[in-house]
Structure 1
Amino acid sequence: MKYLIVEDERFAYLELKRMMAKLCPDYILVGRTESVADTILFLENNTVDFMLMDIRLADGNCFEIFDQIQISIPVILTTAYDEHAIRAFKLNSIDYLLKPVEEDELSFALKKLQQQHSAKESTFDYKKIEEALLGSQKKNRFLVQMGDTYNHININDIAFFYSEEKVVFLHTISDKKFVIDYTLTQLESQLDKKTFFRVSRNCVANITSIKKISKYFNSRLKLTFQPECPHEILVSRERVADFLKWVDGWN
Structure 2
Amino acid sequence: MNKLNVVIIEDEVPAARLLNSMVTRLRPEWNVTVLPGSVDEAVLWFREHPHPDIIFLDIQLADGNSFDFLSVAKPTSVVIFTTAYDQYAVRAFAVNSIDYILKPVDEKRLSDAILKYETLLGGEYVKSQDYLETLLDALQQKEKRYRSRFLISGVDRFWTLRVDDIAYFYSENKVTFAVTKNGQEHIIDLSLNKLTDQLDPACFFRANRQIIVCIDAIDHAEPYFNGKIVVTVRPPYKTKVTISEEKLSAFKLWLNF
TM-score of the superposition, structure 1-length normalised?
Answer: 0.50
Distance (whole Å) between structure 1 residues aligned to residue 59 and residue 131 of structure 2: 15
CA contact (8 A) 1:8 1:58 kept: yes
Residue of structure 2 in register with 1:10 after alignment? 13
Instruction: Give the letter aligned to residue 12 of structure 1.
Output: A
CA contact (8 A) 1:5 1:32 kept: yes
Residue of structure 1 in register with 2:28 after alignment? 25
Counterparts in 2 of 1:78 and 1:42: CA distance versus 1, 3 Å:
same
CA RMSD of aligned residues (A): 2.3
Distance (whole Å) between structure 2 residues aligned to residue 129 and residue 120 of structure 1: 16
Which of 101, 105, 127 is the equivalent residue of 2:105? 101
Q: What is the CA-CA distance between 1:115 and the residue it aligns to?
A: 2.0
TM-score of the superposition, structure 2-length normalised?
Answer: 0.49
Q: What is the CA-CA distance between 1:98 and the residue it aligns to?
A: 1.0
Q: Does 2:85 correspond to 1:85?
A: no
CA contact (8 A) 1:92 1:129 kept: no
Instruction: Give the letter aligned to residue 63 of structure 1.
Output: F
Distance (whole Å) between structure 1 residues aligned to residue 142 and residue 58 of structure 2: 19
Structure 1 residue ranges without an equivalent (≥5): 139-251
Residue of structure 2 in register with 1:128 after alignment? 134
User: How many percent identity over aligned positions?
Assistant: 36
Q: 1:72-115: per-residue Cα shift (whole Å, max 9, x none)?
A: 21011101223362222113430110111100000000011112
Q: 1:53-87: per-residue Cα shift (whole Å, max 9, x none)?
A: 10100000011122113222101110122336222
Counterparts in 2 of 1:116 and 1:135: CA distance versus 1, 3 Å:
same
Residue of structure 2 in register with 1:56 after alignment? 60
SS for the counterpart of 2:124 is coil
Residue of structure 2 in register with 1:144 after alignment? none
Distance (whole Å) between structure 1 residues aligned to residue 79 and residue 101 of structure 2: 11
SS for the counterpart of 1:29 is strand
Residue of structure 2 in register with 1:115 after alignment? 119
Distance (whole Å) between structure 1 residues aligned to residue 104 and residue 53 of structure 2: 24
Aligned positions, number:
139
CA contact (8 A) 2:117 2:123 kept: no
Q: 1:188-236: per-residue Cα shift (whole Å, max 9, x none)?
A: xxxxxxxxxxxxxxxxxxxxxxxxxxxxxxxxxxxxxxxxxxxxxxxxx
Runs of 4 or more, structure 1, over 6 Å off, are: none
Distance (whole Å) between structure 1 residues aligned to residue 59 and residue 7 of structure 2: 14
Counterparts in 2 of 1:84 and 1:32: CA distance versus 1, 3 Å:
closer
Residue of structure 1 in register with 2:158 after alignment? none
Distance (whole Å) between structure 1 residues aligned to residue 57 and residue 90 of structure 2: 15
CA contact (8 A) 1:77 1:95 kept: yes
SS for the counterpart of 1:32 is strand
Counterparts in 2 of 1:42 and 1:109: CA distance versus 1, 3 Å:
same
CA contact (8 A) 1:7 1:33 kept: yes
Matches for 1:183-222 after TM superposition, within 5 Å = none
Residue of structure 1 in register with 2:72 after alignment? 68
